[in-house]
Structure 1
Amino acid sequence: MKLTKLHCAVLTAFATSGYASAEEIEPQDKAKIEVINVTATKRTESIQDVPVTVTAISGESLEKLGVASFDEYVEFLPNVVFQGTGPGQNEIYIRGAATTQTSIAVSSVQALQPSVAFYLDEQPVSMQGRNLDIYATDVERVEVLPGPQGTLFGASSQSGTVRLITKKPSHDGFEAGFDTSFRSTKGGDISNSVEAYFNMSLRDDLAVRVVAFNDFQGGWIDNILNVPGEGGYIGSAEVISRISNDALTNPGSVPVISPKNDTLVEDNTNTANYAGTRIGLSYLINDDWDLLVQHTQQSLDTEGVFAYDPNLEGESSTNRFVPENNNDDFGLTTWTLEGRLEHLDLVYTGGYLDREINSTIDYTGYTNGGSFAAYYACNYAGAPETQICVDPTKFYKEETDTSRVTHELRFNTTGDNDWRVTAGVFYDSQEVSTVGLFQLGNTDLPYFTDLQKELKGTDGINSDGGPFSSEISFVNDITHTIDQIAFFGQFEYDISDTVTASFGARWYEIEDKFKGATTTVDVSGRLQAYGDGSDAALTEFFGAAEAEAIQAAIANGQLDTSLLDSDGTLTVDDTIIKASVDWKVNKDVLLFASYSEGFRPPVTNRVGGGLAKNQQGAFDGFRIPVYSTTDSLDNFEVGFKSTLLDQNLRLNATAYYSDISDLQTSRFDPTNISFLVFTDNVGDAEIRGIDGDFSYVATDNLVLSGAFSLIDSELTSVNPELDGIAPPVGSQLPYSAELSGNLQAQYYFELDGDLTGFVNGSVSYTGDRYTGMTMDAYVLEDATNLVYGTGSGLDIKREADLFTGVNYTDSNGNAFAGGRYVQDSYVLANIAIGVTNDAWKAEFFINNITDESAILYVDTQQFTPKVVTNRPMTVGFRFSYDFY
């Protein structure tokens, strides 16, 4: 069969589906696998010549896979994990280097820095707890660099980097197009999207590209009527049991009050809407210099929750008692100036990001655990007949403004020498200002009435008698600033025509500052007292007795305050390195080996140094760390890249070993609820694994591709204060499966005229995973039984006979074992059938053919588990048209 020009081009593009796109090729008898150039090393190179593991998903492949948001296309990156509670509320992990991140409710205040850097073109946009959820429209490719990339990409590239590369303005003339889709979800609402772009060369030296999109994603999670005793929220029996001995012996003496949601009952409540635009302007200054300026504006509005309550019947039902929403808007302006100066290529790039988040979160479950749960719903003072409980409904409101300015200046020597240098300087300034308003207890209770009287007289907290003065019982008002400067460089030398060695290094200095207060803690004053360190400063802030105890804790090494200055600013600096060698065996096979280092900076704790309320067992004498220390990852890997069988087969694989020291984690222990959330270092870990991918042009009409990831992770040591709370030595790290992978097939056939038909199919597999870094599943399961009258039904991995994070027994008098919830394995499959020609494409598709309800994440921030799940089976139609 003689293939048409279009047919060959389409075949070639999809030969690298999920990993690379191809340029159009001339007609021939057999399509070949072509690969794209990437900028993973900040130098343009063929993906098969880069001596590190790089995965690139082309924009064409994203379109064929029918995905646009990160949680969808991550399914085709088996060594990448996306964990969180819904759109705009997720964290990225690569190659199993995962830990417990702070819950979304306080992530803006007290979250770990990301372990994976996320870039939009040249600009880092990763943020703690809430990475930007950028809609993938008019995208050139997505580059994924597993393993530490800190020498070139900085602090958050500890275990990898993800780069979303957009299409740039073209000076070749006019082009435009649009893409629209209509989708129907089983048991859910209708979804629809429209995307459009146009590119125009205004002059020979000036071009503009404009993109606009709107994607409404209908919901499928139902907020059903709360029916206590039928899996619904009964009320916290744990709270009632703490009221008095009379209540313990005669529980009916104090009625259990259940929250009501009659007015909020609604089907398909979890909607999401992505809308925005991107404008790019390219100016060719002269033959050697050009300037690119782009602005991206996006709004992401969600309502409801993307998790179901496993205690309720079915896998799409929840009980929520407060209307929930998350409005996440950002504007990102970037600029890149490129040019040539003698024998150097220079690049100056920068960006300004402005992000605003407004959220309302149902926090009713906050009364389900913790030492002070009784205060949040009941008054147990006085005689039994005066003891009352009230409606436990609670909420949390957040307003967070984020600004980030980055600058990078770098130069590359030309590539025609046997030595090459990439070097530069990087500056980054971030500021996160957040006000979190918690309604934790019913303000009709005497305890909270008195508290509100105190708050009304406190400067800066409801002092104006505003709308929250009678509702809010706790406030976070924090500004977090992170400033970073770094110098980096990489030197490559061709030892021979086939062997190249490289060495890179990065020196950095990071300043981290918390300012502000909570209702109960002056964060600024606390950190300044630690930074000063004198008896006078500590005594003035803490009082004489506590100051003496703190000085003793510092002297014996229990508390580290050495990184703080008198202004309360935490400063850290270090140098990390990367070295590699590669051997071009022949024109089709490349072997490489590398060593690299990655890190995450320390995180200051807003309640650092506080003494544990529970002084028993593991908490005897325990104080909250003033900050978690830097955790580092050392990585060794060897791999190969090959294009075989006369360019019909591409096969790549990498084996790696990662050693993590002082792994950071977030903690929220139910018997020390006064701690709120703080960060700590859980211990050390090791990860061994293999990544692999392939693309194969099986016939003139059939293309197969796929990828896999094998991960063996384990904790190798646990810090003493977390012994019996964190999983034991030898346990698997959370969220990443031991085995995951995907397989894709594309089949093409000629139709009458210039039409080409196609069938695309894909299937992905994710193995069992564990939740978090705390063995609290049996405690949470007990709370679930007490609150709902039934268990969650989720699988639990038993990891210890005793969970020492609690000092009480369950409702049957048995001590709690230690264990974590299991996120069970799942398989997702998609199929699309369509017709295309040079200008338009029409396709019918079914996503999640088997209607699999996958456990993507188990959310335990409210002391009972909620399951974040994927969209049910969705049937749709997509049409696109391009004008040239």
Structure 2
Amino acid sequence: MVQPAGAVSVGSRRTYAIPPSSLADAIKSLALQSGKQALFSAPALEGRRTAGLNGVLTVEEALDRLLRDSGFDYRIVADRMILITAHAPVTASGASAAERPSATARESSSVDTVIVTAVSDEAPPSVERLSARILAGSGVFDPGEVARLSPALNALPSGAGQLKLALRGVYGAGEATTPVYFGGAPVSGPSGTNSDPGLVTPDLALVDIDHVDVLRGPQGFDHGAGAIGGELRIEPNAAVLGRYAGAATLQGRLVQGGAAGGMVSVVENLPVGDDLAVRLVAYRRDNGGYIDNVRLGRDNTNSETTQGVRVAVKARLSDRLEASGMAVYQQRRIGDTSVWNGALGANLSDRYGLNSSDHDLGLSSLTLTFRLPHTVLTSTTAYYGWTLGRRLDSTQVVLGLADDPAGCQRYFTTAADCDATQLDAYAAYARGRAPSTLVQATEIKSLVQELRGDGDLGSGRWAAGLFLERRREHTRSAAQVVDDQGQVDQAAGYTGLRTLGSRFNQAALFAQFVQPIGDRLTLTAGGRYAATRRAAWTDVLIANIISGSTTSMPERTADGGEFNLRARAEWRLGRDASLYVQASQGARPGGVNTTPDPAQAVQTFAPDHLWNYEIGGRRALFHNAMIFEAAAFNIDFHDMQFANATPKGAFSYVMNIGSTRIRGLETALKTDLGRGLSLEFNSAFTDARLTSVSDLALTQFEALPGDRVPNIPRYRHTATLAYRRALTSDISALLSWQNERRSAITSSFRPDDPDYLYTPAGSLDTFTLALDRGHSNLTVALRNVFDKETPDRAISSPFGRDQIYGATPRTLTVTVRRSW
């Protein structure tokens, strides 16, 4: 997606509307609006800002205003290339800016440069880059909301603070198929009681963020922990040497039929001498709830508060050595899950207890960068600790087990069948332990280390490194009774209590080589080998007679080793077009289930793996006034890890269900319609179907080849029509209308499944008005303009039937930003 911009030619002058931003972004916007290219040193411009500009100007006048007092100058080469250089002193002849000579080829080649075409926020193919302006303009606050802007990325909610990400239809249980990186550090969710770390996506706030990259397809050949479906990489703004800067944001929020909320954030970049800088970020967001619990008589139960601080430090230790560090601490408190009962109606719930959630996450990292003449060596060390407290209303499960003959046998400690009197006695006991809730506390600690080298290889480049990960986790899970107010009845004691522990270790070697062949062809080859070990165990402290959690599980381990490859060829088809083909492998490790129910089908599950084949290209038309991008892919996904429940629904575990073929097409159209009007359209078509089914999946799900994989819409798009206009010499306005649409989804493989739910197609519209004046911005946004009850996902299980995760009702936000 590209920030809308309109530049209308008026003879040799154009109408420019460039908002306050970093100087690098402003130069990109000027290139976009003038139809030229820009050549500059990105490190040299780092941290420099501009108040922007509005008006009818020549390109020279616009550059003079942008670069005033910046310490930089410009030259225009061959009437189409803008060369940004360090400011040169006035010559003895007194040459003025208007009399600058053209740069020679020799002068241009001596600059450490980045070429910027007339498309801003560029990223490599298969990478969708969302800039800070796009994120802020769309009101994106956490990783789950990024899916609103990226049709290939689906966010699947499943509880308070629980969200699974699926990219290109690749998802399942087990390790996250789309892991999240924050500042270069991968952050994994907890395995919990269901061996599914991908069920909880890290929710660090996207405040003071430089950009977010959505990397499509298998990753890990040139960095990190590896990924089977893709990655979400969040890059916060780093501390900037030698520059004092800051920003403040204040937001108010009103939800139709719900409680009010708001947000405040403050950012300060503080230089300490010439070689040290500190960046401070603090924020708090209060979201008023809108779900009403009719059983408990409580309104707006799903309110939430997120608050945190972040400190970034950068130090230049020598001409070649640089250190940067980051520390983040965030708290999130969620009153209840945002789910409503389909039988009662939109935003109404009848749970016996609130599914609240508490998150406390601390992350720190240190990166050392050592620059040699032809090689850059980087060491990144990161550590995080994450504590999660969750409650899950289990009343329906307990009541459903009240007539379980096996539970009666456990209650009377007998192997013989219970008689009618015993069955009645057991049923009375089970119903006496309801209403019920699961109270779970999980602590996860992880240490990662990456050593990486990048360098020249003749005309090409190489990257290689070592990645190490050590993750430890402990969970305490208690089944307890709740009172008629939905609160835990401590006097009633425990229905059951157990603890679970797990360890995950990974060691990986990776390498990638990029080699141009001639002027038009570039070849890329990469490889990755990862060795993993997962261990898990459980201790039953108080036997749960009702669920069957009565026996501790000794430590079990699952070892694995996977070698993956990547190959890519890219052609430049002239100045304005390119084409690529790619094949890449991805894999996830197997694991150990910790379900205590003896009726569970499997105790361990095997690794799954895939091949991703794709072809794509980019074409610029009408002097870059229109950009079209497309990618078609075919994914063969084998031994897919998937979640299943025990026969009575008390526990969830992971199993391999067979193979899936995913075919898709992704497109993006970005066009300047003239006179300040622009249109952007991004879409994703995804068809994910089973191609083979394991015997276990056939028994458990009755799934058959050809069945569509649940929870993945076949089609999604975002379309944005925007109009930018300069109102005065220092005020510009932006009006935009965004439409998000997706096709229908289902909750399980087959319509005859008792848990099958059909979620119809839906769409949401957002209207935004933004006013920029100097370093100030006012944005008014109305999301879900028509107040549609568009479901995001529907779930049916013994924990709750006909549960709907719907879109937030019509929401008005007013945001004021000020930078300095």
Normalised by the size of structure 2, how large is the TM-score? Answer: 0.80
CA distance in 2, matches of 1:189, 1:413: 54
Contact in 1 for aligned 2:522/2:571 (Cα 8 Å): yes
- Work out whether 1:877 is the aligned partner of 2:814: yes
Q: Structure 1 residue aligned with 2:363, among 332, 335, 342?
A: 332
* Change over 3 Å in CA distance of 1:574–1:37 after alignment to 2: farther
Residue equivalent to 2:300: 268
What displacement does 1:641 show? 2.2
Counterpart residue number, 1:663:
640
Equivalence for 2:130? 57
Once the 2 structures are TM-superposed, how far is the Cα of residue 158 of structure 1 from its aligned partner? 0.5
Contact persistence 2:755–2:796 (CA under 8 A): no
With over 3 angstroms needed to count, the CA separation of the structure-2 counterparts of 1:271 and 1:359, relative to structure 1, is same
Assess, with a 3 A threshold, how the Cα gap between structure 1 residues 670 and 200 changes in structure 2: closer, same or farther.
Answer: same
- Tell me what 1:712 maps to: 687
- Higher RCO (Cα < 8 Å, 6 or more apart): 1
Q: Deviations over 1:135-187 (max 9, x none)?
A: 11111111001111143456651011110111111124111111111111110
**Equivalent residue number for residue 311 of structure 2:** 279
Opposite residue 655 of structure 2, the aligned amino acid is: D
Q: Give 1:445-464 correspondences, 5 Å limit.
A: none
Correspondence for 1:821 among 743, 754, 757: 757
- Taking a change above 3 Å as real, the CA distance of residues 347 and 523 of structure 1, as seen in their structure-2 partners, is farther
* Alignment-derived partner of residue 576 in structure 2: 588
Residue from 135, 142, 146 that aligns with 2:212: 142
Residue 724 of structure 2 aligns to which amino acid in structure 1? Y
CA distance in 2 between partners of 1:486 and 1:198 (Å): 37
Corresponding residue of 2:391: 360
Question: 1:2 Cα shift?
Answer: 6.7
- CA distance in 1 between partners of 2:693 and 2:625 (Å): 48
Query: Is 1:70 aligned with 2:110?
Result: no
Structure 1 counterpart of 2:56: none
Aligned residue in 2 for 1:645: 622
SS at match of 1:864: strand
Deviation at 1:67, TM superposition (A): 2.2
Of Structure 1 and Structure 2, which has the larger fraction of its residues in helix?
A: 1
Correspondence for 2:784 among 848, 866, 880: 848
Instruction: From the superposition, tell whether residues 653 and 33 of structure 1 become closer, same or farther in structure 2 (CA, over 3 Å).
Output: farther
Q: Summarize deviations over 1:406-450 as a string: whole Å, max 9, x none.
A: 0000101137x32321000000011111001113799xxxxxxxx
The answer for the alignment partner of 1:476 in structure 2 is 498
CA distance in 2 between counterparts of 1:428 and 1:698 reads: 49
Q: Which range is displaced more, 301-310 or 66-75?
A: 66-75
CA offsets 1:259-292 (integer angstroms, 9 cap, x no match): xxxxx31111110111001110100112222110
Superposed counterparts of 1:481-560, under 5 Å: 481-518=503-540, 519=543, 520=549, 523-525=552-554, 527=555
**Pair 82,36 (structure 1): closer, same or farther in 2 beyond 3 Å:** farther
Aligned to 2:378: 347
State the Cα distance separating 1:734 from its structure 2 match.
Answer: 1.6
Q: Does 1:407 align with 2:449?
A: yes
| Aligned residue number for residue 79 of structure 1 | 152
Please name the residue that 2:438 is paired with: 396
Task: Report the Cα offset of residue 76 of structure 1.
Answer: 1.3
Q: Percent identity?
A: 20
* Residues 6 and 404 (structure 1), Cα distance of their counterparts in 2 relative to 1, 3 Å cut: farther
- 1:667-714 Cα shifts (integer Å, max 9, x gaps): 10435x57x322111111101101111221211411211200011111
For the residue of structure 2 that corresponds to 1:72, the secondary structure is helix
Secondary structure of the structure 2 residue equivalent to 1:158: coil
Aligned residue number for residue 449 of structure 1: none
Matched, 1:421 2:430: no
Q: CA deviation at 1:88?
A: 2.5
Q: Which residue of 2 aligns with 1:748?
A: 724
Aligned positions, number: 706
Q: Distance in 2 between matches of 1:384 and 1:573?
A: 50
Output aligned runs, 1:99-498, within 5 Å.
Answer: 99=172, 101=173, 112-127=174-189, 128=197, 129-153=199-223, 157-225=227-295, 264-312=296-344, 314-367=345-398, 369=400, 382=421, 388=428, 389-390=431-432, 392-414=434-456, 417-439=458-480, 470-498=492-520
Separation in 1 of the partners of 2:209 and 2:586? Answer: 28
Gaps of 5+ in 2: 1-7, 44-112, 190-196, 413-418, 544-548
1:22–1:429 CA distance, 2 compared to 1 (3 A):
farther
CA contact (8 A) 1:368 1:863 kept: no
- Please report how far the alpha carbon of residue 581 of structure 1 lies from its aligned counterpart in structure 2 after TM superposition: 0.8
1:865 aligns to what? 802
Inter-CA distance 200–155: structure 2 relative to 1 (3 Å threshold) = closer
Equivalences for residues 724-735 of structure 1 within 5 A: 725-726=700-701, 727-735=703-711
> Who is 1:540 aligned against?
none
TM-score for both structures, normalised by structure 1: 0.75
Look up the equivalent residue of 1:304 and give its one-letter code: D
For the pair 1:684 / 2:659, whether they are aligned, the reply is yes
Q: In structure 1, what is the Cα distance between the partners aligned to 2:623 and 2:19?
A: 19
Q: What is the letter of the counterpart of residue 653 of structure 1?
A: A
- Whether 1:632 aligns to 2:694 is no
Cα deviation for residue 33 of structure 1 reads: 9.2
Q: 2:734 aligns with which of 749, 752, 758?
A: 758
- What secondary structure sits across from 1:173 in the alignment? coil
Q: CA deviation at 1:662?
A: 0.5
SS at 1:429's partner residue? strand
Q: Which residue of 2 aligns with 1:597?
A: 585
**What's the Cα RMSD here?**
3.2
Q: Is the 8 A contact 2:19 2:772 kept in 1?
A: no
Kindly tell me: are residues 11 and 278 of structure 1, through their superposed partners in 2, closer, same or farther at Cα, counting changes over 3 Å?
Answer: closer
Q: Give the superposition deviation at 1:864.
A: 1.5
Query: 1:147·1:160 contact (CA, 8 Å) conserved in 2?
Result: yes
